[in-house]
A and B are shown apart, each in its own frame.
Chain A
Amino acid sequence: MPRKPLPVFLERSSYRKRRVMDALKLLALFGFILWMIPTLWPDGSDPDAAPVSMSHALFYVFGVWFVLIVLSAAFVSRQSGPKEKAGESDAGP
């Protein structure tokens, strides 16, 4: 079925929703990068490297987790706001 051509420019609220959607899409990538940072930490095989203490590691991993959850919840609530139009979420700008 041919889809209706989307307007080139959107009104401000729709535009904002699109960008929130983009942020949502990027969130997983962001989380992936942050959570892969521990692969760069010394793993104890090199005695000269100063080890990362477990409490720091815990704070880091869970801190990232918490931030991701909060951001995701915020984005989702912004994105699925009261005036959501059908089909709008399927395409980019």
Chain B
Amino acid sequence: MTSLNVLIAVCLAYVALLFFIAFVAERAGVQGKGGWLLRSPLVYTLSLSIYCTAWTFYGAVGNAARSGLEYVTIYLGPSLVILGWWWILRRLVRIGRSHKVTSIADLISSRFGKSNALAIVVTLMAVVTVTPYIALQLQSVTLSLSIFSAAEQGATPDTIDNDAAAFWIACGLALFTVLFGTRNLNVNERHHGVVIAVAAEAIVKLVALLAVGIFVVWGIAGGLPETLARIDASDLGTWQTSGSRWATLTFLAATAFLCLPRMFQVMVVENADEKHLRIASWAFPLYLMLMSLFVVPIAVIGLEEMPAGSNPDLFVLSLPLSQGREGLAMFSFIGGFSSATSMVIVATLALSTMVSNHVVMPVFLHLRQGGASQSGDVREVVILSRRMSILAIIGFGYIYYQVSGGSGALASIGLISFAGVAQFLPSMLGGIFWRGATRLGALWGLGVGFMLWVFTMLLPSFGAGAVLSAEVFEHGLLGLGMLRPQAMFGIEGMDPIVHAVFWSLLINTLTFAAVSLATFPSPLERLQGAQFVNVFDHSAQTQGWNASVAESEDLMIMAQRILGAQEARSLFSDQARAQGLSGHLPEPTPDFLQLLERELSGSVGAATAHAMISQIVGGSAVSVQDLMAVADESAQMLEYSSQLEAKSKELSQTAAKLQAANTKLMQLSAQKDAFLSQISHELRTPMTSIRAFSEILRDTEGMRPMEKAKYANIIHSEAIRLTRLLDDLLDLSVLENGQVTLNHQTGNLGELLDQAIASAQAGASNPIPIHRRRLNERLLLETDLDRLCQVFINLITNAQKYCAAEDPELHIDVTEKDGAVWVDFIDNGAGIPAEAREMMFEKFSRIGAQDSNGAGLGLAICREIMARLGGDVSYLADAQGTGFRVVLSHSRAVAAQ
């Protein structure tokens, strides 16, 4: 009889061996030796074998004993996934490497715009789903121990304290994980120790299971034909698996293989070379096939040989033990122990990375204001948070084991866990194949899928009445028949696992797709989406640093904060020596920067390390977020400056207007002064002559009648001039005050012009020749004809008076345009200088000194009249000579038909 103590001693020796292997590998990794082994496809393939846990090792036989060949689906799914590596795995690994992904939470969160909320959700879901699985491993090791103690103690299997055993196993596992998982804080730079230990354990468990199988087939049953005959003759002799379960479980296993955090860790994160996938694509199915090859024979022979009621989950142990093969049984126990420990170690490592990077560190950095930019050593914090996470996760597993009471078939717990992580699948595959997938879609899909999984699978697994009452099972949640945990939407008769997987994944996928279709992603999400989906277009392999400007000293300071002063210094001086330099600081070659980045990535996550180096190296790689921030800022500045520009333009326009107004005011003021002197002059000149001549008439005696008449005429004409001046002033004042009453009549434009010309030229000594086109003047007008005539007279008179040409002539052109009538008066004079045009329609303005007897009111009166008549008079700047245009609006002009 193998004593329990011997068993424990062997166990401890095995663990010590593992520690030794891990330690040697770790040393070799640090010294850069043994790279061929550490980076060989063989080790990669063997490390994938953590898929085969104690559940596989013990549970597969139990499952086969209960339901025949169904257990094999758990291996068929992963085999298909890795056989089809070209479709999904190659893409995942490439994305993982080019984006320096550290976990499945990291993958999903960085695909959807580096959303921390999503990372936290995935992390929490992973913890909830994987914790029962860890509990399962503790349970299987404890159970297997109890077999030995039962054999030793006879009939009482409970003499060994299961709780204490589980507790000590949990402690041992936690110790190993803490020691080798957080030794160098390097997630991206593979855990050599752990990987090698896992590979060694993979060999141990395979050989152990094969040994038991060979013993059973050739040792007990007596050969292959006999075994097959006994299989066919047994209860398991025929195919009994339902098609829906077969298909669903295969699919579920394939999904879990992709989504389990520990599988993601070994498959993607620890992958050293994409080419390893090629070897693994046939080597790993081979491993899985060998692992499952002897399961059915062991189950059948176990059922026959072992007493009724023995636990089929432990046939792998109890069968050799019952045949007195204690050595084989112990080897088998070590195999199971290996399966359990390697799974717990890697799963805990993967989960603790997620918890520490996505939950603990963000919270810590948030609480410590200033975040990572503050100086100080964050390494201790990261190590501590990772170690605490490891302890917490194993602690949770232990508590779950305690609470669940170590009962239930192993396989069902495993399947529950599988279905839980399967909820990541829509978001993960959608994220890497579909650019339209959005963050909200992923959040909703994950959330809904997770809730459904909890409701249809996790809670019912505790049994009716434990968490969900029997009432809920019978009539649905809140009495709604639609919401029965094992018959959603009233569809009964489905196998509970098929039911839960089908509904949770279907609704998860639908929600994910629908919300993605309905929402709009942020720019960062779209960019990341494009990079993930088109990863083969964007990434050659991992991108190298191109840093000639990086400051070695800055890198040193940063590295000290994260790696610790001692290690950073030794790393830097090692590198300097390798580069053949004498100082402590190496040249920042791309190789060195890549190495440094990998060193840093373990403590702050790969993405952060990349960003930190890129900040110091500068230029070569700025994170998208930085770019977006810069773009935002510059867009704001651009907008602000354009606003400023617009304002200053406005201001300068206003200033120009003010200037113009001021100039005009000054001119007006000067004009007024000029007018006052002018008007007094104008009034005084006739007054003086009237006074003088009237005095002569009064005082001179004996004047001849001729002279009297002459003087009286002078007085008369001066008086008329005065009157006219006063009339004009009065007229203008009336027009300006709007007191004028218009007398509308209908008349012909041509006749009106005839009349105006006649008036203007009456009494003129030398009338100006006038050219007209009478055809155009056949227009009927309805307006105040007298006033309009006054305007015409004024303009003709002006031309007559002021045209400076040698042979003056005046053109009067009538044009009808856009319903308005233009009457242009253009002479062949010199035109009006530009500076005078502004003022010429003002009162009392006179152009130059030529106007000797006008009062400067004519044009002002014209303009006022035209304003009253609803038209306009303006100077024609582009005419050949002096030109004025009278515009009559349409309502005043009626076609003369």
Chain B residue with the shortest CB-CB distance to A91: B536
Residues B83 and A38 in contact, CB atoms below 8 Å apart: no
A28-B80, A38-B239 known; A72+B281 contact, CB < 8 A: yes
Contact B238 A61 (CB under 8 A): no
A29 contacts the other chain (Cβ, under 8 Å)?
Answer: yes
With A and B bound together, what is the CA distance between A21 and B278 in angstroms? 11
Report if B149 contacts A (CB, 8 A): no
* Per-position 1/0 for A39-73, Cβ under 8 A of B: 11111110000011111011001100110111011
Knowing A40-B243, A62-B289, A76-B282, the reply to whether A51 touches B238 (Cβ < 8 A) is yes
| A 65-93 binary contact with B (CB < 8 Å = 1; else 0) | 11011101100100110000000001000
Contact yes or no, B238 A29, CB < 8 A:
no
A93 smallest CB distance to B (angstroms): 15
Docked CA distance A31–B83 (Å):
8
With both chains docked as a complex, state the minimum distance between the C-beta of A91 and any C-beta of chain B, in angstroms.
Answer: 8
Most chain A CB within a 10 A radius of its CB, from B86, B239, B250, B281? B239
Given contacts A53-B232, A69-B282, contact A28 B76 (CB under 8 A): no
Interface string of B223-237 (1 = CB under 8 A from A): 000001101101011
Q: Does B579 have its Cβ within 8 Å of any Cβ on chain A?
A: no
Contacts of A31 in B (CB 8 A): 79-80, 83
Which single member of B76, B231, B239 contacts A41 (CB below 8 Å)? B239
- Is B285 at the interface (CB under 8 A from chain A)? yes
Name the distance in Å between B84's Cβ and chain A's nearest Cβ.
3
Q: What are the residues of chain B within 8 A of A45 when measuring CB–CB?
A: 242
The answer to whether A62 touches B293, judged by C-beta atoms less than 8 angstroms apart, is: yes
CA gap between A55 and B296 in the complex, in Å = 10
Whether A69 contacts B285 by the Cβ 8 Å rule is yes
- Shortest CB distance B849–A (Å): 79
Structural contact, A28 and B87, CB atoms closer than 8 A: yes
Tell me if B232 and A76 are in contact (CB < 8 A). Answer: no
Which of B231, B239, B285 has a CB less than 8 Å from the CB of A72?
B285
Decide yes or no whether B72 CB sits under 8 A from chain A: yes
Look across to chain A and name the residue whose beta carbon is closest to the beta carbon of B64. Answer: A54
Given A28-B80, A28-B84, A72-B282, A44 contacting B240 (CB threshold 8 A): yes
Q: Give, as a whole number of angstroms, the nearest-CB distance from A31 to chain B.
A: 6
- Quick check: is A32 within 8 A (CB to CB) of the other chain? yes
Q: Which chain B residues lie closer than 8 Å to A68 at the CB level? A: 79, 83, 285
**Does B701 interact with chain A (Cβ within 8 Å)?**
no
Contact call A36/B247, Cβ cutoff below 8 A: yes
User: Given the complex of chains A and B, what is the CA–CA distance between A38 and B68 in angstroms?
Assistant: 13
Interface residue? A15 (CB, 8 A): no
B247 touching A27, Cβ below 8 Å: no
Which chain B residue has the least Cβ–Cβ distance from A79? B278
The A-contacting residues of B in range 239-273, CB under 8 angstroms, are: 239-244, 246-247, 250
CB of A11, distance to nearest CB on chain B (Å): 22
Q: Whole-angstrom distance between the alpha carbons of A79 and B289 in the complex?
A: 24
Closest Cβ neighbor of A65 among chain B residues: B289
CA distance A26 to B401 in the complex (A): 43
Query: Which residues of B in the span 78-92 have a Cβ within 8 Å of any Cβ on A?
Result: 79-81, 83-84, 86-87
Determine if A39 and B243 form an interchain contact, defined as CB atoms under 8 angstroms apart. Answer: yes
Q: Which residues of A contact B246 (CB under 8 A)?
A: 36, 38-39
Q: Are A27 and B238 in contact (CB under 8 A)?
A: no
A42 to B81, CA, bound (A): 27
How many Å from the CB of A51 to the closest CB on chain B? 4
> Beyond A28-B87, A57-B69, is A69–B296 a contact (Cβ under 8 Å)?
no
Q: Which residues of B contact A12 (CB under 8 A)?
A: none
Q: Is the CB of A25 within 8 A of B86?
A: yes
Nearest CB of A to B694, in Å: 106
> Cβ of B716 < 8 Å from any Cβ of A?
no
Judge whether A1 is part of the interface by a CB distance below 8 angstroms. yes
B440 to chain A, nearest CB (A): 31
A54/B237 contact (C-beta < 8 A), A27-B83, A39-B247, A72-B83 known: yes
Cβ contacts under 8 Å, A73 to chain B: 282
| B247 CB contacts on chain A under 8 angstroms | 36, 39
A interface bracket (residues with beta carbon within 8 Å of B): 35 or more
> Complex Cα distance A21/B84, Å?
11
Chain B residue with the shortest CB-CB distance to A64: B76
Asked whether, in the complex, the Cβ of B537 is within 8 Å of the Cβ of A1, the reply is yes
Whether the Cβ atoms of B83 and A51 lie closer than 8 Å is no
Shortest distance from the beta carbon of A32 to any chain B beta carbon, whole Å = 6
Asked whether any CB of chain A lies closer than 8 Å to the CB of B279, the reply is yes
State whether A25 touches B76 (Cβ < 8 A). no
Chain B residues, CB < 8 A from A90: 536
A4 at the A/B interface (Cβ < 8 Å)? no
Q: Does B275 contact A (CB under 8 A)?
A: yes
- Give CA–CA (A45, B245) in the complex, Å: 14
Which residues on B sit within 8 Å (CB–CB) of A72? 83, 281-282, 285
With a cutoff of 8 Å between Cβ atoms, the chain A residues found around residue B538 in the complex are 1
Residue among A44, A52, A65, A70 with the highest chain B CB neighbour number at 10 A: A65
CB distance from B94 to the nearest CB of A (A): 10
**A57, chain B: closest CB distance, angstroms:** 5
Q: Which residues of A contact B84 (CB under 8 A)?
A: 25, 27-29
Say if the beta carbon of B286 comes within 8 Å of chain A.
Answer: yes
* B478, chain A: closest CB distance, angstroms: 35
Q: How far is the CB of A28 from chain B (nearest CB, A)?
A: 3
Cβ of B289 and Cβ of A66 under 8 Å apart?
A: yes
What chain B residues lie within 8 Å of A3 (beta carbons)?
A: 537
Is the Cβ of A80 less than 8 Å from the Cβ of B275? Answer: yes
Q: Report yes or no: B231 in contact with A35, Cβ–Cβ below 8 A.
A: no
Determine which of A43, A57, A65, A66 lies in contact with B243 in the assembled complex, contact meaning CB atoms within 8 Å. Answer: A43
**Nearest Cβ distance between residue B644 and chain A, in whole angstroms?**
40
Q: Nearest A residue to B231 by beta-carbon distance?
A: A54
| Contact B278–A76 (Cβ < 8 Å) | yes
Taken residue by residue from 47 to 86, chain B's Cβ proximity to chain A (1 for < 8 Å, 0 otherwise) reads as 0000000000000000000001100100010011101101
Q: Which residue of A lies closest to B75 (CB)?
A: A65
Residue ID in chain A nearest B76 by CB atoms:
A35
The distance from the CB of B251 to the nearest CB of chain A, in whole angstroms, is: 10
Flag if B238 contacts A69 (CB, 8 Å).
Answer: no
Q: Which residues of A contact B237 (CB under 8 A)?
A: 53-54
Question: Contact: A53 with B238, CB < 8 Å?
Answer: yes
B231 contacts A58, CB within 8 Å? yes
Distance of B222 from chain A, by nearest CB (Å): 16
* CB neighbours of A1 from chain B (8 A): 537-538
CB neighbours (8 Å) of A53 from chain B are 232, 237-239
Shortest CB-to-CB span from A76 to chain B, Å, is 5
Establish whether residues B231 and A55, one from each chain, have CB atoms under 8 Å apart when the complex forms. Answer: yes
A65 to B77, CA, bound (A): 12
- Report chain A residues within 8 Å CB of B79: 31, 65, 68
CA A79 to CA B90, docked complex, whole Å = 15
Give the residues from 504 to 537 in chain B that come closer than 8 angstroms, CB to CB, to chain A: 536-537
Chain B 285-303 near chain A by CB (<8 Å), digits 1 or 0: 1100100010010000000
The CA of A29 and the CA of B536, in the complex, are separated in Å by: 23
- The CA of A18 and the CA of B634, in the complex, are separated in Å by 49
In this complex, the member of B229, B237, B538 whose beta carbon has the largest number of chain A beta carbons within 10 angstroms is B237
Nearest Cβ on chain B to A3's Cβ, whole angstroms: 7
Indicate whether A54 sits within 8 Å of B68 (C-beta atoms), given known contacts A38-B239, A43-B239: yes
Question: Quick one: which of B69, B239, B282, B289 contacts A51, CB cutoff 8 A?
Answer: B239
| Distance (whole angstroms) from the CB of B507 to the closest CB of chain A | 24
Residue of B nearest to A40 (CB): B243
* Min CB–CB distance B298 → chain A (angstroms): 13
Assess the B80–A32 pair: CB atoms within 8 A: yes
Q: Across the interface, do A54 and B282 meet the contact criterion of CB distance under 8 Å?
A: no
Closest 10 CB pairs of A and B: A28-B84, A39-B243, A51-B238, A72-B282, A73-B282, A52-B239, A55-B228, A28-B83, A44-B240, A76-B278
The 5 sampled A-B contact pairs (Cβ below 8 Å) are: A31-B80, A41-B243, A43-B243, A69-B286, A76-B282
9 new A-B contacts at CB < 8 Å, known A31-B79, A55-B231, A72-B281: A39-B244, A43-B239, A43-B241, A51-B239, A61-B69, A62-B289, A62-B293, A68-B79, A76-B278
